[in-house]
Amino acid sequence: MNRYNKALVWFRRDLRHIDNAALHHALASSATVYCVFIFDKDILDPLLAEGRLDRRVAFIHASLQELDAELKRGGGGLIVRHARAATEIAALADELAVDAVFANEDYEPTAVERDAKIAKALQRAGRVLHLFKDQVIFAKDEVLSLASKPFSVFTPYKNAWLKKLSLPSGELNLDALAPLVCKPAKGQLAMLPTAPPMPTLASMGFDDCDLAALKIPTGMKGGATLLKDFIPRMSRYKASRDYPAVKGPSYLSVHLRFGTVSIRTLARLAAEALQSGEGGEGAAVWLSELVWRDFYFMILHNNPHVVGGAFKPEYDRIKWESGKEADQSFAAWCEGRTGYPLVDAAMMQLNQTGYMHNRLRMVTACFLIKDLGIDWRRGEAYFARQLNDFDLSANNGGWQWASSSGCDAQPYFRIFNPVTQSEKFDPEGQFIKRYLPQLAKLDRKHIHAPWLVPEMTLSMAGIVLGKDYPRPLVAHDEARKKTLARYAVVKK
């Protein structure tokens, strides 16, 4: 890489000063390095149209304060602006008279288009945009089949992924996951002498959000705290991950989304646990989940039509429910009023906290699609608005998996029964009771299907169906038959 006098590092979804590819390369090749984050109006303005409270924007804002403090310890700081990144980056590069802009690659179609425009604008001014792989282990076309084609099925992709990361001995190459050095020489990081303070949430139109009350730790320290808590639990991950009332997941998804932890760090810890023999099946399954993340990024890169359309085009022939009744059913699903406790508790968790357990993402998605017969794209869009960890590739991949329209998706005739899912994965009803306290007096036998509970038992629990808790929107057995008929078009 060329040597530069001045460079600008543009932070996006990589809000950390350690093990950061763009920052590493900028510091290695430039005498002076400035750092910037743009609260992009092209992203934020549509969010404001949905309301002033957004947990993700609050998470970013809090994480940036920590990042700024760390950069200042190295002699620099973070320039933070509220503007259109598509024009502001080139303008700031001109203002600072930098030779190059460094950033980590973003694989979403709109981001790719934006970066291409910025690269052209910089090029016209005699500057260059350098993009680096940072949010995945393997990107784009790095993992291909023996026929040099992208995979569309996960298991062979995972096997190829693991092989690509392995040494001739068969052990995983831990050196390939080593953290990148981001420690500058004295004076290498720089900051504008008259930089204005960071924009407040209020100045950008957003309300403050009490993330601490929601138990969402922010920034690099928050991610590190969660990781430290998870490491002793990793070996039990396979056994515990499907039970929402149990502390099974790592809860790191929002930190992966915004890059307050490094994917290399997580993959390396999983690999070390595997190779030491201490991680057991839990470490193997957790590493597999990280591979799924790479897999969906790869699918999005090679199949951009999945944004708004089915991976399998024939599934776009399905006729979904529409009209007033479907709209009412969709609203009931969004608000946790379907009459199926596990589904409703999961939606309450999402709406109140911005988090949903992965097993429940599958359950609620399958219910919307295959019990209510509503287009998966409506559910995908709702999750996109509500999830703290919303990531286009994973969200799209998950919804297409549930709708059977995606790559390596569940068969269309596999239809989750929301009651048996509840009995299996929340057997005591602990999770349900946490988010549906009106059902708290029902025992484990009755809490999963209140409409089947004798009136006397309901009365003793202080529950009147239709008043304290809704009756089911649909009968699952009847809905299943309709779904099989609806999906018959894909067999023609």
> Do residues 179 and 19 touch, judged by C-beta distance below 8 A?
yes
Write the DSSP assignment of 115-129 as a string of letters: HHHHHHHHHHTT-EE
How far apart CA 87 and CA 85 sit, in angstroms, is 5
Residue in this structure with the two tokens 């050196």, named with its chain if needed: 175
Within 8 A by CB and 6+ apart from 325, the residues are: none
> What one-letter code names the amino acid at 343?
V
How far apart CA 412 and CA 208 sit, in angstroms, is 43
How far apart CA 378 and CA 368 sit, in angstroms, is 9
Half-sphere exposure of 169 (CA within 13 A, CB side): 5
Within 8 A by CB and 6+ apart from 477, the residues are: none
Token pair in block for residue 478:
């009847």
Active site residues: 289, 292, 320, 358, 376, 399
Backbone angles phi, psi at 469, to 5 degrees: -150, 135
Q: Cα 335 from chain centroid?
A: 21
Of the candidates 274, 270, 275, which has an alpha carbon nearest to the alpha carbon of residue 287? 270
How far apart CA 125 and CA 123 sit, in angstroms, is 5
